[in-house]
Amino acid sequence: MKLHVLWPFAFGLVIMLAMNSCTKTIVQTKTVDSTVFDTLHSTDTLRDTLGTRIAWIRFVSMFPGSTPPTVAISKTPGGVAFAYATTPLTGNYLPLHPDTSYTFYLSSPELPGWSSALAIPPLGSTLSTYALFLIISNNGADSSMHPSWSIDSEKLTPPPLGYCYVRGIDGISDGSQYDLDLDTIYHDLVPIQSYQITRYVLVKAGEHTIFLRTIGTGDTPLQIPGNFQDGSYYTVRATGSFSNSDAQLALDQE
């Protein structure tokens, strides 16, 4: 079954697109408030879905805490959630009309009384990841939600044989400007700034250690090892605070 037969769809339609390196991609389709399901198997899923003029979007929670709170996303203030900002980052995307702007409303059961709004401009026929940061200031008295986004165009073409893709997200609250280094100092992968999500970069498959290095120095305050598999996609998340001694790197395989 081709995905274009599902068009047109109501905005409430939720299509979970599992982006991975497998030869077949499984798409599970359901509406927000019904139990109707449809499953599509296709080797051309990415090309087919972008050809139907859909903007695919996903959200990752970069809120502070060793276990980031669940962030619910609804279409009205206090409404029923139709999506969530997840941690760790997954390969699941949601569809939007590509030529429409939206305002979504955020809340969290773990943050009583907190809410925020998120403005999404028309995205066109793209794949996008929104990283949602909660910036806390004035010794915890004030907080503001800061979104940062990146186009995931690398998902349209699998990495070359023997390679994978890696990106970074920096949520360290008292950090500076960094480079992500691969295995050795000054083997740069990609520069990264606080409250930023980068594009994907190619990495040769195999065992590697990722270092977070302060730009212009040999200081590598954080590192994380990993087995990077051929054809896969990875996100390195920097979280916590150096002043609170809880800064760390996490590696998500999407």
For the segment 60-76, the average pLDDT, to the nearest whole number, is 88
Q: In this predicted model, what pLDDT tens digit does every residue of 9-35 receive, in sequence order?
A: 333 333 344 444 332 222 232 222 222
Q: Is the torsion defined by CA of 204, 209, 213, 218 positive or negative?
A: negative
Mention every residue, 6+ apart, whose C-beta is less than 8 A from residue 209: 182, 183, 223, 224, 225, 226
Most confident of the ranges 132-141, 164-173, 183-192: 164-173
Percent of the chain predicted with pLDDT > 90: 47
pLDDT of residue 137: 67
Which of the residue ranges 18-22, 49-53, 120-124, 144-148 has the most confident prediction, judged by mean pLDDT? 120-124
- pLDDT at position 27 is 29
| Res 112 pLDDT > 70 | yes
Q: Going by DSSP bridges, is the β-strand pair 178-182/206-214 parallel, antiparallel, or unpaired?
A: antiparallel
At residue 6, the pLDDT reads 34
In angstroms, the CA 154 to CA 71 distance is 26
pTM: 0.78
Domain ranges of the chain: 3-151, 158-253
The more confidently predicted of residues 65 and 207 is 207
Region 125-153: mean pLDDT is 85
d(CA 245, CA 243): 5
Question: Among 84-88, 101-105, 230-234, which stretch is predicted with the lowest mean pLDDT?
Answer: 84-88
Q: What percent of the chain has pLDDT over 70?
A: 77
Q: Is 95 left (phi over 0), alpha (psi -120 to 50) or beta?
A: beta
Q: Say how far residue 15 (Cα) sits from the centre of its chain.
A: 16
Selected from 3.90.1150, 1.10.287, 3.40.50, 2.60.40, the CATH number assigned to the domain covering 158-253 reads 2.60.40
Q: Are 220 and 229 in contact (CB under 8 A)?
A: no
Average of per-residue pLDDT across 100-115 = 93
Nearest to residue 19, comparing CAs of 128, 163, 168, 100? Answer: 128
Output the pLDDT for position 84: 93
Question: 252 φ, ψ to 5°?
Answer: -105, 125
The CB density around residue 205, as the number of other CB atoms within 10 Å, is 16
**Mean pLDDT throughout 33-52?**
40
